[in-house]
Structure 1
Amino acid sequence: MLFSELAKYYEKLEATSSRLGMIDIFAEALKSASVEEIDKIIYMTQGVLAPAFDGIEFGLAEKMAEEAIAIATGYTKEETDRDYKKSGDLGITAENLKSKSKLKPMLQKKYTVIEVYNTMKKISETSGSGSKDIKIRLLSELIASSAGIEARYLVRYPLGQLRLGLGDATILESLSIAKTGSRVEKETLERAYNLCSDLGYVGKELFEGGIGRVRNFKVAMFKPIRPALAERLPTAEEILKKMGGRCAVEQKYDGFRCQVHMHGKKVRIFSRRLEDTTQMFPDIADAALKEVHSDDIIFEGEALAYNEATGEFLPFQETIQRKRKHEIGKKAIELPLHLIAFDLMYANGKSYMNEEYETRRKMLEKLLEGSTTIIPSNRIITDSSKEMEEFFEASVENGLEGIVAKDLKAPYIAGARKFSWIKMKRSYKGELSDTIDVAIVGYYLGRGSRASFKFGGLLCAVYNKKRDMFETISRLGSGFTEKQMSELEELLSKIKTQAKPARVDSLVKPDFWVYPKYVVTVRADEITKSPMHTCGREKQEDGTEAGYALRFPRLVGEEAIRSDKSVEEVNQTSEIIEMYKMQKKVRVEG
């Protein structure tokens, strides 16, 4: 497939306001591609060169892209910069200037998708002396040989600003339709994706070996498994009822979630977002090699800093200091970590994904016997709500977040939020004070005292997994520092768009829409019903329609953006509805 053909599909996707339309368009693009192109097209559409755990970055700054556009079109850097300031989108600037290029027309090479992908990979791999000039030259050659619409996406792609709005669920449905003619195999494809976290690999396997090969997907070393997630309930009584009267109860720790893969002498540690964080945690990697009694293993836990003198765990605000790229060894000495292990997925050549929780736990304890840095989470097994409450209170008194109850017979459910794990945090014990993660889907210009920041607040949404849509829940205008406002304006201005993205359901119109990409954490007084927002929107008893909204929301945390969470990991609509019910119940019982 020529890249010009893919660019036409991208143009259609960008202009489409219907999610179903997007699925059909991308399915058509996949059907038009060769087997060798499938994974490249999926990675390109995700805006990456490889899955997150490979850690491959383009390493191309906006200024470099501006220089490449200038070289490819014959305009000066100043003229290119003026057009960019006017358009607000370097992709549109590339398209504009390419369509009225000052250079004499030459015989243009028509690049294929694979050639473009390989050139982009070469750009990412170029480093050292003179690398900047090489990166600019490679990109300028692609732009020079392109038509206007191709130039738009050639520039946007390495800058991470494609603006297509396709989420993982949409791509999975497109793959199902492209290969099988219907959406029925989406769950099969999603299961495979949950096991390997590599959508390009899943697509390639599907087109090479058919749906049968995808059904036989197994856990693989050094391909991270998408983590299991917990539902929430407000009381021990409700948890026990949901669990069938008896369950395991583990303490809930507030640290870095780590998935450890070890084979022989090789160790890799993956974050909640499935990024390779091995270099950040040399003490954990070293402990895995020395203390774990298995030649090959995949397990997960929570890494926390601790005070060696007292043996107490430190607050997350201190633990987060370990998240750095420089002076890691020094920080490892200052803030040593324990890894509190809580689940096992694979060991000694055997997958434990489908084994019962209690079987996984016993094997994990056996493999960690005698370890001091990596230790199993503290837990009880109980059929008593009173005992669970006491364990919860003791955990909170010790500075922990709360507890997680686990179904003794449940398998490990990758990439899903199910009632096989149920969390109860201290913040649920009363009015709504638990934090909520939301996706940014729009922003407002600054007015009054904020006019100088060009930023006045955010339009935020939660994720409806059934619809694969982001439904608005609040306008957010409080809790920002000046630094955060500047940071948000800089980030969001690069992905803003005048048209509402296809996966956003909103009755409210911000000054600028943005494609769901960034996550922020908010705290609110309560959840209320609102005719203005689409989260869980449905007909009321009086015949009107209303959704759920946050009352008096404000930003929390020192960092404006939650870099450890992907946009589809924000709170879901179903969770908001349950939290609303819990809130009402607490008031009635109080």
Structure 2
Amino acid sequence: MKKRASSSSVSPIKNKRVKTQSEQPRIDHFFGSPSKVKAGAASSGSPQFIEGSSSSKGVSSKNASSQMEVIDVDALELDQTPPPASNPLKQRAELDVEPPKSLVISSAAHSENRLLSTDFLPLDSVPIDYDPDAQPSNTPLAPYSLLTHALVSLSETRSRIAIINILTNLLRTIISKHPSSLLPAVYLLSNSLGPQFIPIELGLGSSIISHSIQQISGLTSAALKRMYNTSGDPGDVAFAAKSNVRTLIPHSPLTVPYVYESLLKISRCKGQGAGKAKQKIVDKLLLAASGEEVRYLTRTLCQNLRVGAVRTSILTALARAFVLATPGHNTAVEPNIAKPLDTENITEEYKKAEGLIKQVYVKHPSYDQIIPALLEKGLDSLAERVPLAVGIPLLPMLGSPTRSLDEIYDRLRDNQFSAEFKYDGQRAQIHASRTPSGIPAVKIFSRHLEDMTSKYPDVIGLLELVFATSDNLSSFILDAEIVAIDPTTGEIQPFQKLAGRARKDVNIRDVQVAVCVYAFDLMYLNEKPLLERTFRERRDLLRSTFSPRKAPQEDSNLAYFDFVESCESEEGKSSIEEFLLKAVEQRCEGLMVKLLDSVPADETSAKRNSRTKSLPSTYEPDVRTSGWLKLKRDYIDGMSDSLDVIPIGAWHGNGRKAQWWSPVLLALWNPETGRPVALCKCMSGFSDVFYTAMRAKYSLDSDFCSKQPVWECDLGGFKPDVYFKPHEVWELRGADITESPVSVAALGMASSTRGLSLRFPRFIRVREDKSIETASSPSFLVDIWKNQQGKKTSLGGKDEGELLDAEIEESDLELSESDDFGGAD
């Protein structure tokens, strides 16, 4: 099934003379009121004339010439050549990031004819049969039209095989012909400007982009609004608007490094005059863009490419591209390093390379180091050249959900394990190393790798104290939960207390909520990685290296430090049951059960239960293994786990809810397609305060709500009254999971004709600690569904798509705004 053809455009709008800024009405949603820009802001120079195309609804050349508008080209700095002393890599340095060695950018204007996206050969062929040298581009820097050509191809398919082939052939072409463009190309494909742990944000408001489209097209804001209401996509509007424009002054063709460099410049615009500076760069990009470049450049500026290139697909394609990068293809890889291609075992070569790159990425998720290493020596010894490193967060290990203690004992059999409190706080990955000056360098990362170091100056002070009192400690990476506590008694406080702290640039004197760092794992110690060691070994090193600092203490400005409270399986099942009750009494979410020693696969266990062929106790980044099992207090009754879902739409409420959105359509995140997939409606668990806040956030005048399906989502049989922009995660719990003819979540995974849905869903809280990419997936839902089979309650049965509009219980109305927050998983 193909998507809407990306080349479709909105019908041309009859050209009108541009009105003055004061005459332009406000445009809803994306096209907001443009900011005022002073005319002639730069020195005068040769004017650029833009006139309506003679094909636009029969406009005569005489009338067209009367509609000419003047744009000051010099004010837009159309020359892409920077001053000789400039270095775009300094943009990384200003963000406190070492610039990647492979990104050597020269923005000199090209003199050859411009290549359009339609000039390139197809990219969807089988990679083994694809010849990158046949592509017409022969410049040192990859033309942006080549990347656009790939994006057009990606937008026309939903087939994962086709997506992988397109990406593989694109990356192989860049490796072969434009190696210095590989890093910026990968970031542009990823719809990002850098690694997750580097806070780089475009910070572009809709008014800047809409004003630029008006500037280059000569159309009024009213005309742009009509076009937007028709298409619902800013990229389509920009494409249609500029298709009616021809320029009398040619522009240098855009290159991939130049576009990426320009986006970095936008992210660096701060302080007074930042809006005008950003406007200038956007104007320059859109003026130089041509054809489909306009569409995808605009989508990039809006940070919504609307193609199915997700992280897994990009890593897979990158691996396959380097497998195919042989000496005969003029690759950047050193000829004496690259090996002859074994076409007979190409599938095995692909699998090996994919496993290697994904293994490296989960331990070191930064293309800034991975891609230069690949370009230098290919896939050989990549893991040794890009290792686990202090200061670069690894993707966290995750726990598999279980329903009961009986299930835990059944999975782990007679092997020893440790049960730990699952605290309701914020998961933190703490990196620290001793500098030559003696002051430790500390970084604190969230569950999804965001840098939150400036949020916890009290934790930084604690670690400085640790280094000051430990002569044998040089570096470490530990996994922990930061929890709010009572500084007098040390008692654990609710997560809402922690959520009340400021989020960045906190002064230690302003800290009002005391916290304790509960450490539960150690992944790196004194320049040695510990991931391959058993949990028993890692825990022993953790407890022998660090000492608890419990409340109360004289220095109340510093955070406290302790190890997670635990209970060993040797103490007996009754002790574990009592420990679970104790965890609930102390405001914990439940238990984390961790295997102490790895159990290798054996023939007997493999025959008895395929799910337990092996039981690892090593630290496995970004993996849910049987070595870590989680048992939440909510698991004991009802569904075996809560779900992290994404609100993507809603209906108009009835009765007393008429002023609000109710019910709300919720979705899972499908990592295979890179978009949300509808799961169920929900109208239970919301307070009146939450309903009011939600209606204000998702108003039709906002950028988060639309009457048209603007954002890419798989809706199945659901047809909401309004559509929400997928951008936040809610926690949801229900009675059980059932098959549904309306939902398309997990379609084909549990049933060939039906998806899965949730019966009697109930909202728990907003998960501000999660991004939509970390929401629950269809495969996670299927795992829960399989676990509940044979354990149906009287509420069982098939979901026919109807929703009971149950009255809100009194307890629901007592919820306050603090329920909008949630802890780490």
> Which TM-score applies when normalising by structure 1?
0.89
Q: Which runs of 5+ in 2 are unaligned?
A: 1-141, 325-346, 435-439, 551-559, 598-616, 795-825
Residue 174 of structure 1: how far off its partner (Å):
1.6
5 Å matches for 1:403-414?
403-409=591-597, 410-414=617-621
Q: What amino acid is aligned across from residue 415 of structure 1 in structure 2?
A: D
Q: What amino acid is aligned across from residue 576 of structure 1 in structure 2?
A: L
**Alignment partner, residue 259 of structure 1:** 429
Q: Distance in 1 between matches of 2:749 and 2:310?
A: 28
Residue 144 of structure 1: how far off its partner (Å):
0.5
Which protein has the larger Cα radius of gyration, Structure 1 or Structure 2? 2
**Alignment partner, residue 764 of structure 2:** 556
C-alpha contact 2:455 2:503 (8 A) present in aligned 1: yes
Mapped pair 1:226 → 2:383 = no
Mapped pair 1:443 → 2:587 = no
5 Å matches for 1:309-328?
309-325=488-504
Q: Distance in 2 between matches of 1:303 and 1:38?
A: 38
What secondary structure sits across from 2:568 in the alignment?
Answer: strand
Residue 412 of structure 1: how far off its partner (Å):
0.5
CA change 1:156–1:445 in 2 (3 A) is: farther
Q: Distance in 1 between matches of 2:195 and 2:426?
A: 20
CA change 1:456–1:42 in 2 (3 A) is: farther
C-alpha contact 1:496 1:515 (8 A) present in aligned 2: no
Q: Distance in 2 between matches of 1:24 and 1:451?
A: 49
Residue 473 of structure 1: how far off its partner (Å):
2.9
Mapped pair 1:387 → 2:387 = no
What secondary structure sits across from 2:500 in the alignment?
Answer: helix
CA change 1:57–1:128 in 2 (3 A) is: same
Residue 114 of structure 1: how far off its partner (Å):
0.3
C-alpha contact 2:589 2:633 (8 A) present in aligned 1: yes
**Alignment partner, residue 567 of structure 1:** 772
5 Å matches for 1:261-410?
261-264=431-434, 265-291=440-466, 293=470, 294-325=473-504, 329=508, 331-332=510-511, 334-372=512-550, 373-383=560-570, 384-409=572-597, 410=617
CA change 1:23–1:111 in 2 (3 A) is: same
Q: What amino acid is aligned across from residue 212 of structure 1 in structure 2?
A: D
CA change 1:518–1:200 in 2 (3 A) is: farther
Q: Which runs of 5+ in 1 are unaligned?
A: none
Residue 470 of structure 1: how far off its partner (Å):
6.0
**Alignment partner, residue 742 of structure 2:** 532
CA change 1:455–1:50 in 2 (3 A) is: farther
Q: Distance in 1 between matches of 2:590 and 2:209?
A: 48
CA change 1:97–1:456 in 2 (3 A) is: farther
Mapped pair 1:487 → 2:697 = yes
What secondary structure sits across from 1:394 in the alignment?
Answer: helix
**Alignment partner, residue 3 of structure 1:** 144
**Alignment partner, residue 21 of structure 1:** 162
**Alignment partner, residue 52 of structure 2:** none
Q: Distance in 1 between matches of 2:374 and 2:169?
A: 16
What secondary structure sits across from 2:272 in the alignment?
Answer: coil
Residue 453 of structure 1: how far off its partner (Å):
7.2
C-alpha contact 2:209 2:282 (8 A) present in aligned 1: yes
**Alignment partner, residue 165 of structure 1:** 308
C-alpha contact 2:362 2:621 (8 A) present in aligned 1: yes
CA change 1:278–1:461 in 2 (3 A) is: same
C-alpha contact 2:665 2:678 (8 A) present in aligned 1: no
Say what the alpha-carbon RMSD is for the aligned residues: 3.2
Q: Distance in 2 between matches of 1:298 and 1:187?
A: 24
CA change 1:531–1:328 in 2 (3 A) is: farther
Residue 494 of structure 1: how far off its partner (Å):
7.8
What secondary structure sits across from 1:98 in the alignment?
Answer: helix
Deviations 1:181-221 (A, max 9, x none): 55412222211111012246434433432122434342011
Deviations 1:468-518 (A, max 9, x none): 8865432345546132144246454489757966xx594656678889764
Q: What amino acid is aligned across from residue 190 of structure 1 in structure 2?
A: K
Q: What amino acid is aligned across from residue 25 of structure 1 in structure 2?
A: I
Q: Distance in 1 between matches of 2:479 and 2:708?
A: 37
Q: Distance in 2 between matches of 1:235 and 1:453?
A: 38
Residue 27 of structure 1: how far off its partner (Å):
1.6
CA change 1:511–1:168 in 2 (3 A) is: farther
C-alpha contact 1:35 1:204 (8 A) present in aligned 2: no
C-alpha contact 2:661 2:691 (8 A) present in aligned 1: no
- How many equivalent pairs are there? 579
Residue 126 of structure 1: how far off its partner (Å):
1.8
C-alpha contact 1:94 1:148 (8 A) present in aligned 2: no
5 Å matches for 1:134-283?
134-181=277-324, 182=347, 183-184=350-351, 185-199=353-367, 201-216=369-384, 217-245=386-414, 246-264=416-434, 265-283=440-458
CA change 1:530–1:104 in 2 (3 A) is: closer
Residue 76 of structure 1: how far off its partner (Å):
4.7
Deviations 1:264-296 (A, max 9, x none): 221110001101000111111211121254221
1:109 pairs with one of 236, 242, 252: 252
Which stretch shifts more, 21-30 or 225-234? 21-30
Residue 551 of structure 1: how far off its partner (Å):
0.8
What secondary structure sits across from 1:52 in the alignment?
Answer: coil
CA change 1:578–1:109 in 2 (3 A) is: closer
C-alpha contact 2:652 2:721 (8 A) present in aligned 1: no
5 Å matches for 1:426-441?
426-432=633-639, 434-440=641-647
Which stretch shifts more, 515-524 or 27-36? 515-524
What secondary structure sits across from 2:379 in the alignment?
Answer: helix
Deviations 1:114-165 (A, max 9, x none): 0111111111112223221111111101110111321222222132122123
C-alpha contact 2:163 2:308 (8 A) present in aligned 1: no
Mapped pair 1:94 → 2:238 = yes
Q: Distance in 1 between matches of 2:752 and 2:537?
A: 51
Q: What amino acid is aligned across from residue 191 of structure 2 in structure 1?
A: G
5 Å matches for 1:438-517?
438-440=645-647, 442-444=648-650, 446=652, 457-461=664-668, 463=670, 472-478=678-684, 479=686, 481-488=691-698, 490=702, 492-493=704-705, 497=709, 504=714, 506=716
Deviations 1:320-352 (A, max 9, x none): 1125246654552x1011110111111111101
C-alpha contact 2:171 2:318 (8 A) present in aligned 1: yes
> Which TM-score applies when normalising by structure 2?
0.65
What secondary structure sits across from 1:121 in the alignment?
Answer: helix
Structure with the larger helix share: 1
Mapped pair 1:52 → 2:52 = no
Residue 85 of structure 1: how far off its partner (Å):
4.9
**Alignment partner, residue 425 of structure 1:** 632
CA change 1:275–1:514 in 2 (3 A) is: same
Residue 240 of structure 1: how far off its partner (Å):
2.9
Q: Distance in 2 between matches of 1:53 and 1:169?
A: 18
C-alpha contact 1:358 1:408 (8 A) present in aligned 2: yes
Q: Which has the higher contact order (CA 8 A, sep 6+)?
A: 1
C-alpha contact 1:17 1:500 (8 A) present in aligned 2: no
Mapped pair 1:521 → 2:731 = yes
C-alpha contact 2:306 2:712 (8 A) present in aligned 1: no
C-alpha contact 1:322 1:331 (8 A) present in aligned 2: no
